[in-house]
Structure 1
């Protein structure tokens, strides 16, 4: 029996930047979509919320990934112009080849229908595009002829082969080959060309751009066939930039995604709009990317949300929420059915643990990084953020009702939060204060050190404040006043503190990688004879198991360690690379054997750690 296993994964959302297209990939069967965030490539099933494959071998931020028509290989690009071709059939993803294509970001990648050639385009100094043989990396022609960044590329799926590309010089280019060479450029757009795509048999291709137009061309020679026009608009398809287009699998329709916050479904033969799907009215509802697979039509909103659309009805079937920035704090509902996660931009997501179904708490409670989050048995949600507020969102609807949030201004920056289960007492560790929220009133107690984290014992007797002065300050709490009863010295800044559920122990972790449990009844003397320093970098978070026997720690070293109080001298369980290339920012026990972790990589993972 293994020491641990990964039970479920709630994956990150795609990385987005306003006004920049998100290029999606998919598997040949159309049952998974591919996108990028951080240094990772995500291959996410359409019909499963708790499973995804993450490729983490890029050393720079990834930009685009496309799987070959054979399904055996994926080519992924990054911001430094590298294309990595790797095996998709094994979980180890053995690298086939790395090609430095140009100096800047790779914007788009296309495979030919034989899974032999790869075209990559983007931002370069000496060139903006390249076509090469995937197994050897040797050049298979020359994609020159456009004078600025190339944004989009596609292969004609049938012979005679062609490559098409769209550029910031407002042109669409066509290349003949192999070996490929420039044939012609078309000047039908008056702004940047964002997307160029062939239909399934290569008889036509289409292009879209910043001018809101959608144009249809002959697939072989690039003769312009038609311009699509929405009758409610003058001569254009959308009232904003069109960042992406995707043909339906049978080639009869085209879906377009636009900054005007809509996705439109077009009839390819009549060039008329059949459905307009309005995603929303806020700026975050701009549509930056789209892909129509054999299984689903998927678009990406400017905030990274993944929309599953129904092209027949013109409706949104499902939205996947989550995070695409580092997750900074986690908490669960007291019944253990819901998980709340908070991120570096102040967003809060709620998750059904059993199914992985997600929701975003709207309106946003905070505007910047959330440093503490906690739920009460009434279902209220307490949060502190770098906007210097302690806020309480009351229970309501299917989770919390953030329209009724109560705000308490703090006089210095909060770095940690501890809340009693009944919600009667909340303590925030602030830079120059300890803030106590009790019976609806906020009291601030000045301190003569800078705090970093805080814990409250379950019986509301003790408050432990970790300091940047390398000490744990233990206070007795009565009402809203604190009296210091013990100061525990460490060799480095304290990073996390936590009381066990039975109030018998207090654990403290620090910058010098130490994890030290103390006995509460024994005047906070060290409770373990063994030095627990297995992490190789700063420990970021700590959590007690419900049975008070085990401790989990997450660290900057990408790993999670599970320590056992009853077997203090034995080697702990180490989950190495729990969040690859990412610090583990939060750990939390759901029950005696289930541990949840969240990382800077925006992923939430569920681990089974048997006793």
Structure 2
């Protein structure tokens, strides 16, 4: 035996070497973390955790140590001086396993109730939750900093991927709407704090768009990523995405709740609280006027008898689909004949809607616990799928990332 490490007065719960192997770091139920010289076992610094330390993780650079505690928290300390850097709270049971990602940007923690949390250590927010049937006994990160493995009393080892890579604190109160640029490099958000754009790669803010007093409820960015549209209870505003210049300012009689650009960027389609659907030409005026002008809608449509929950546009740049609380999905020809088709069959309100990339299929989800796939050429149901016994909620469009919806009665106009 090279050395005996003595000093703990309770069961030891974790042990690890520092990266250069010169020190050994231990944790114990005696509420301490201790550092020893690996050569001779000489005790060094003691970190008083204050509660039972049930698990231990050391950052790859050896600078920080994480402790899973009996009080359901994760505590992160600097190893050099024992200073408490942060306390991560939220677990519902004692934290029985912790581990840093290789790049030190994330931490995974698991608890006695079988729940795991992946943390962003820059913002101290939870990126993702995981679950296993029994208490978590061990966790680990792969070298890609995304893949994790965890084990527990359910006799299994689970391998999962952290798909959420960052959490952006975009508004002090709430984020009411989100838009993603065509190349996925820019995010735009709406909320009481205004309309903002963000670098999707690093989560840093890039611009605040001025001119829409009182915050915003809905936002969109065009496919070319050069124009941002947002609306609140008073107006619809369009800006140059690069410099924030206000291009159009359109008064509204009813607050907009949904909006989407056509793929060619030549139409901006909106849904209002009064259940009307409007199509606008978003082209900036030329020459540029001294004050951003208003512009009339190119088309105003109506027909739903319930609140509209979803709006998507097909790749043909002329077909829009809406889904509402009246249990119907309707398709519309924008700036053409108007109402096109009413699909029916759902027994509850429709909350999710999406076109296939070629526009020949439409999928809808409803509170009746079904998902229906429609042929837009024959207007008939191709397939009906039963879902879990819970409410249907909006879900991503397979083409645009807009929200998705479903059906109950069928009519055809024109």
Q: Secondary structure of the equivalent of 1:370?
A: coil
What residue number does 2:350 align with?
A: 539
Q: Distance in 2 between matches of 1:408 and 1:386?
A: 12
Q: Which residue of 2 aligns with 1:515?
A: 329
Question: 8 Å contact 1:214–1:236 — kept in the other structure?
Answer: no
Q: Distance in 2 between matches of 1:356 and 1:590?
A: 23
| Corresponding residue to 2:202 among 395, 401, 404 | 401
Query: Deviation per CA, 1:238-264, whole angstroms, max 9, x where unpaired?
Result: 43555x7369xxxxxxx7437462399
Q: Which residue of 2 aligns with 1:430?
A: 232
2:225 counterpart of 1:411: no
Confirm or deny that 1:365 pairs with 2:365. no
In structure 2, which of residues 295, 298, 314 is the aligned counterpart of residue 485 of structure 1? 298
Structure 1 residues 418 and 320, CA, compared in 2 at 3 Å: closer, same or farther? same
SS at match of 2:176: strand
CA–CA distance in structure 2, aligned partners of residues 521 and 597 of structure 1 = 22
Tell me the TM-score normalized by structure 2. Answer: 0.60
Residue 296 of structure 2: SS of its match in structure 1?
A: strand
Partner in structure 2 of residue 585 of structure 1: 394
TM-superposition CA deviations, 1:279-336 (whole Å, max 9, x none): x94554787743359xxx9534574457999999999995679xxxxxxxxxxxxxxx
RMSD in angstroms over aligned alpha carbons? Answer: 4.8
- Pairing of 1:216-365 with structure 2 (within 5 A): 227=30, 229-230=32-33, 238-239=48-49, 241=51, 245=54, 256-257=68-69, 259=73, 261-262=75-76, 281-282=85-86, 284=88, 289-291=94-96, 298-299=109-110, 300=117, 303-305=125-127, 318=145, 356-361=161-166, 363-365=168-170
How many angstroms does 1:512 deviate by? 0.9
In 2, Cα distance between equivalents of 1:475 and 1:358? 36
Q: CA 1:451–1:556 in structure 2 vs 1: closer, same or farther (change >3 Å)?
A: farther
Distance 2:178 2:196 in 1: 10
Contact 1:305–1:320, Cα closer than 8 Å, also in 2: no
What does residue 190 of structure 2 align with?
A: 385
Match of 2:254 in 1: 449
Unaligned runs of 5+ in 2: 1-10, 14-26, 36-44, 57-66, 99-107, 111-116, 131-135, 149-159, 286-293, 406-414
| Residues 458, 501 of structure 1: 8 Å contact kept | yes
User: Structure 1 residues 492 and 503 mapped into 2: Cα distance closer, same or farther (>3 Å)?
Assistant: same
In 2 relative to 1, CA 369–567 (structure 1 residues): closer, same or farther, beyond 3 Å? farther
Give 1:515 shift.
Answer: 0.6
TM-fit CA distance, 1:437? 1.9
| Structure 1 unaligned residues grouped into runs of 5+ | 1-196, 200-212, 216-226, 248-254, 265-274, 322-354, 600-611
Distance in 1, matches of 2:162 and 2:233, equals 36
Once residues 575 and 520 of structure 1 are traced to their aligned partners in structure 2, the CA distance between those partners, rounded to angstroms, is 30
- How many Å separate the matches in 2 of 1:503 and 1:315? 44
Q: Is the 8 A contact 2:223 2:261 kept in 1?
A: no
- Structure 1 residue 503: Cα displacement: 0.7
For the residues of structure 2 that align with 1:566 and 1:314, how far apart are their CA atoms? 49
Of structures 1 and 2, the one with the larger relative CO (CA 8 A, separation 6+) is 1
Q: State how far apart, in whole Å, the 2-side matches of 1:314 and 1:563 are.
A: 42
Where 1:508 maps in the other structure, the secondary structure is strand
Q: Which residue of 1 aligns with 2:311?
A: 497
Q: Structure 1 residues 241 and 468 mapped into 2: Cα distance closer, same or farther (>3 Å)? A: farther
Q: Check whether the contact 2:125–2:167 (CA below 8 A) recurs between aligned residues.
A: no
Kept in 1, the 8 Å contact 2:279–2:335? The answer is no
Change (3 A) 1:584 1:312: closer
Matched, 1:476 2:281: yes
Write the distance in 2 (CA, Å) between the matches of 1:358 and 1:412: 34
Aligned length: 313
How far does the alpha carbon of each residue in 1:175-203 deviate from its partner, in whole angstroms, 9 at most, with x for none? xxxxxxxxxxxxxxxxxxxxxx999xxxx
Match of 1:524? 338
- Distance (whole Å) between structure 1 residues aligned to residue 175 and residue 182 of structure 2: 21
Alignment of 1:171-250 (within 5 A): 215=29, 227=30, 229-230=32-33, 238-239=48-49, 241=51, 245=54
The aligned residue for residue 179 of structure 1 is none
